[in-house]
Every structure is written in structure tokens, then in C-alpha cells.
Structure 1
Amino acid sequence: MKKIKFLLTAFLAMTMSASFVACDDDDNTQQNNFTKYLSSVESQVKTKKAKSNNKKALLLVAFGSTWENAHQTFKGIVSDYENDQAFKDYDVYFSFTSAICINKSREGEHYESQDFYAPNFWLEAIGRQQYEEVRVQSLHVIPGEEFLRLRDNYIKDFKNNVYGDLDDQYLEEGVKVFVGGPLMAEQEDVDAVAQALNSNFNQYVKDGNVMAFLGHGNPEGYNYGNGNVRYEQLETALQAINPNYYVATVDMEGNLLDDLYDRMKDRVKADATITLHALMCIAGDHAHNDMSGIENEGDSWREFFAEKGYKCEYDGNDANAANTCILKGLGDYANIRAIWKKHTKEAVEMFAEEE
């Protein structure tokens, strides 16, 4: 028995030792990656600031995506800001909040391999170059989980010098930090978005046909800031213009595809054409799959409505097909980008009361 106990103890000690080594290896890998990523970002910021000699920085922050057309939308948004005279004194930078999108972009999923970085790297690098003003603009749609994490974690961590290597006097007196809210930050934004969407898509709701927007939404347990209410408010605002507009989500309890159909089925003609569009900054994974069913056939909004007898189709291989799945994001439309840019111009200074 003593021999068995000794062997068991020895085995446990070896296992625990291996676990500690593994943990140490993981910690070292994470630390090495952090140093590598920060070095890359800092090099970009340092080079841009030296070239422009600007004292103001603007960080655009999106959730992220791995799809090529989505990346083109992001580039268009960045270019729009860079070419806007209102931001001529700003160095413009761009970030993802989604670790999954960052990692998959590095792997080259659906797009050539490209490095993107979380907001903390950009803010740290911006702080090291001691910009006098930092504007952070959310490219999210609602004031939900992602926006609140940006505002309440990333930006506050920067201001609180979480890595401990920024100058305290600079943080306390030398830099002002502003944050621009998401697309539908307030009720007045909802009304502006409704008007913009109708201007872009009113042709799709003529003759009893329907335009349905696919939003993301937050699960009920993650509905921080009650951002989900914006989807209901937007449908109300759109239907005040034309009753054939609808808004639903992939993740908001009570406003999923089945709920959308329940609202539609007794109001929409049986042979109506249903046009689908993502209510997201870009047309990414949800637009390609949940909406259009490009990769996960049999489980998409398009197929659901087609099975109900409506005209709702997509053929990405045929440029002449009568496609009713529009694979664009909100960021592809100038009048929508104008609302984000308005928020940037009117951004609220954080920590002003503390200072």
C-alpha cells in the first residue's frame, strides 16, 4: 500500500509540474505576442505621426470580420474619414474588438492574411507618442456589449495607465479623450437611420414587397445598456414611413426569425418579394450565412422565406440573377457613414469631470 501511495504521489507531482510548465509556456507565449503586437502597432503610429506632425489621433473601432467584401467596406470607411476636411488634423487608425476576427484574419479566412489589433494596442501606442487629443469612434450599431466594453474597459484602461509605462502628467493634464457613440446611440439617431435607409431602399418596398433587415442583437443576459431596444425602435420608425419594412436579429430573444415571420405573415401578400440586408457595419459572417445561406445551406433567412412561398433568392455566381440578398454593410452607404461621422464630431469628452 505504501508503495502504491508513493507511486500515486510521484505521478501527481509529475502531472502538476507539467501543468505548471504548460502554464508558464502559455504565459510566455502571451507575453511574447503582446510585445510583438505592441511593437508593430507602435511602429505604425510612430511613422504616421512623424510624417503628418499631427497632434490629434482618431481611432475607429469595429467588431471585425474575415470576409473580403467586409474588409473593402472598412477600407472605404477609413478613406472617408481621411478625406473629410473635418478630420484633416487627425491621424486615423483602425481597430477590431473581436479576438476571433483578429485571429482568423491572421489565418487568412475568406481573405488574404492581414494583421489587425485590439484597441488597447492602438491606445497604448497613441499614448506613447503623446497625442494631445484622442477621439475613439465606435463603428458598432447599438450601444450594446461591444460598445460598452470599448468605452468602459479599453478607454478607461488607457486613461488609468493599465500597463504602467505612460507619463502620469500626460494622462492627467496633457491628453483629452473623446468617445463617439455607435450608430443608434440615441432615439434621434434611430430616426436619422430610418430616413437614410428609406432613402437607400424605398424601391424595394413598393407594390407590397418587403425589405427586412438582419441585426445582431445581444442575448438577454448580455443586453447591457438595453441596446436591443434600438431594433424595435428602428422598425417602428421605418414602418411609420412604409409598413413593409421589418427589423429582426440573430441573437435578441423575442426578435428572431420566427418572431419576424409572426409579425409579417398576416400582413404581407403571399407572393411578395422579400429583400434582405444586414443591419450591421459590414456584410460579414452573419450576412453570408445566417442571411444568405452561402456556406450553411438549409439554415438561412433566405431559405426560410423561400420555403414559405415568398420570392427570396441569391445566386452569387450569376451577375444577372434577380438577387434579393444584398451583400453590403451599412458602412457602404455615405448617408449612414455621415451619422457615424456626426457622432465623431460631437464626441463626448470622457473623464472631464474628474479632471
Structure 2
Amino acid sequence: MMTRSAILLAAFGSSEPQAHRILARFEAKVREAFPGRTVRWAFTSGRIRERLAGEGKKTDSVSKALARVGFERFETVAVQSLHVIPGKEFEDLKRAVRDAEENGPIARTTLGAPLLAGPDDVEAAAAAILRNLPPERSPHEAVLLMGHGTWHQGDAVYDSLAARLAEQDPLVKLGTLEGIDSLEPLLDALRRDTVNTVWLIPLLAVVGAHVQRDMAGDGPNSWKSRIEAAGFACKPVMRGAVENEDLSDIWISHLTTAVSELDSDQASGGQGNTVPLDP
């Protein structure tokens, strides 16, 4: 009898309708790449799930989604992270997948890596970003990417990406909302570069509240407002990383690895886990 296998896409989540449309587009890309596979979703942010529940919209945590998949008699699951870095959210995801495998009805799992899981991903992501900069940008105009950031050790991958981008285009810079790569040092660097225009681009999966409020909002604490207060013209680009086809291909490549390993394990009777599940 053929083993029933599913794909679970795990994103931080968002309550913004635009973000849901973009995630639906990514799901269509996954279905095209893996025809015949059942695809399910989980949101890792409890706050987002609560907000959506208050709007009458049901979403699952990773644990609940895996339990539901098991209840539907799927025996194996390839879980794909849509996180950008291997930070705390990804660590929580690993634990949830491990617990489902150890205590739930899922026989085997594999877990696909986040966007920036290692040096090869950093190289591919830098190329993807530089290939998809705004075509209207002039050579003397700066580009500032805004990541979420974290105080988790996974935050270091942002520095690797920033360094690789700077090697190829010194006016392309990267900062984060949280963590050590804050906006102020970048403003100083932009002054030294004597630029007058800054293109502001999110390095988050989708355009959610962080992008609309913290990056491009009209409030005094948004990055756009602070950049303008520092004397620069600011041009926000409302386009998340999932909408960059070259970046989304990196996530798809990680999922391809997870699915391939799952199928290989299935054929050999071995145990999965493309990404180690130890905490």
C-alpha cells in the first residue's frame, strides 16, 4: 500500500489580507512543484493566530496542524519553514516537529531549512536580491533592506548577507528591527556615502504589519519617517521576500530536499529529518 504523504508550510503568519494572497500564491508554486501532494499551513505566531481567531478565521499551530494531518491518516510529512533565518521561531518549529514525531501519529518527518540556513543560501539570496532591485533605481541611490532581527544567535546570518551584498554593491545595506543591526549606524553610513535617496525594501516573507507600520508607516518611529527625518528621500517597496521569485526558489529548493529525503526514507524504511531536530 502506498504511504500517504503531505507537505506542511510553516510561516510566522500575518493578519493582513495582502499577505494571505501572497502566501496563497506561494502555495500554488508548491503545488506545481509537487503535484499530487496534499499541502497544509501552520502559523508559528500565537499572537497572529489569536488575532485571526478574533476575526473568525481559523489557523493552526504547527502542533495542531501535524495532529490534524495525522488524524487524516497521512503517515509522512515534509515540513517547510518560511522563516528567513534559523532563529527562535525556527527552533520552536523544530521542537514541534520533533514532538509530533515522537508522540504523535506521524511515522516520519523531514524539515526544510529557512531561507538563510548557510553560506550557500547567503550567496544565492544575495544574488537574488541584487537581480531584483527596483529597476527605477539610479546607481547613486542607496537600497536599505529591513529584516526582523532577533537576539538569537541565528541573527548572525544577517551580517553574512550584508557583507556579501556590500561586496557587490556598497550602496545596498541591511538592517533589522531587532538585534544588533539597528537603523542608526546605517543612517551614519548613508551620510558618509553622500546619497540623497534610499529605497527601503523588506527582508520579511510577506508584507504584514511590520512592513506596513514599522518599515513604511507614517508614524514617527517607522524606518521611513526616521530616514526622512535624517534628510533622505525614502522610497518604500511594498514587496515581501516570497514575492521575489528568486528568493522563493530558495525555499522551494529546501522543500525539494526535504521531500526527496522523505521519499528516500520511505523507500528504505529509514528515519527522516533533513534539519536536525535536537534543540
- 2:38 aligned to which of 83, 87, 91: 91
Aligned-residue CA RMSD in angstroms?
2.1
Alignment of 1:343 onto 2:254: yes
Superposed CA offset, 1:278-326 (max 9, x none):
10101111111111124xx1111111111121111xxxxxxxxxxx111
Aligned counterparts, 1:94-173, within 5 A: 94-108=41-55, 113-151=56-94, 153-161=95-103, 166=105
Q: Distance in 1 between matches of 2:206 and 2:3?
A: 29
Structure 2 contact 144–173 (Cα < 8 Å) conserved: yes
For 1:265-304, what aligned pairs fall within 5 Å after superposition? 265-269=191-195, 272-294=196-218, 297-304=219-226
Instruction: Give the aligned length.
Output: 264
Q: Report the AA paired with residue 96 of structure 2.
A: Y
Rounded Cα–Cα distance in structure 2 between residues aligned with 1:351 and 1:291: 34
Give CA-to-partner distance per residue, 1:175-212, whole Å, 9 cap, x none. Answer: 32111000001111011011011111063653310111
Which structure carries more helix by proportion? 1
Are the equivalent residues in 2 in contact too, given 1:134–1:176 (CA < 8 A)? yes
How far 1:351 moved relative to its partner?
9.1
Q: In the alignment, which residue of structure 1 is the partner of 2:133?
A: 201
**How many Å separate the matches in 2 of 1:140 and 1:286?**
14
Secondary structure of the equivalent of 2:133?
helix
Normalised by the length of structure 1, the TM-score is 0.70
Q: Secondary structure at the match of 2:233?
A: coil
Report the identity percentage: 27
Counterpart CA distance in 2 for 1:267 and 1:325 is 19
Checking the alignment, whether the CA contact within 8 Å between 1:205 and 1:244 is kept in structure 2 is no
What's the secondary structure of 2:117's corresponding residue? coil
Aligned pair partner of 1:187 in 103, 115, 119 = 119
Separation in 2, partners of 1:96, 1:342: 21
Distance 1:90 1:107 in 2: 31
Unaligned runs of 5+ in 1: 1-52, 313-323
Q: Within 1, Cα distance between the matches of 2:156 and 2:194?
A: 24
Aligned-pair distance for 1:149? Answer: 0.6
Shift of the alpha carbon at 1:140?
A: 0.1
Do structure 1's residue 258 and structure 2's residue 184 form an aligned pair?
Answer: yes
Deviations 1:53-96 (A, max 9, x none): 98210000000111121111111111111122xx1131011110
Distance change in 2, residues 1:74/1:185 (3 Å)? same
Query: Which residue identity is paired with 2:273?
Result: M
Contact persistence 2:101–2:108 (CA under 8 A): no
CA–CA separation in structure 2 for the residues paired with 1:351 and 1:231: 23
- Which structure is larger by alpha-carbon Rg, 1 or 2? 1
The CA distance in 1 between the partners of 2:117 and 2:72, in whole Å, is 31
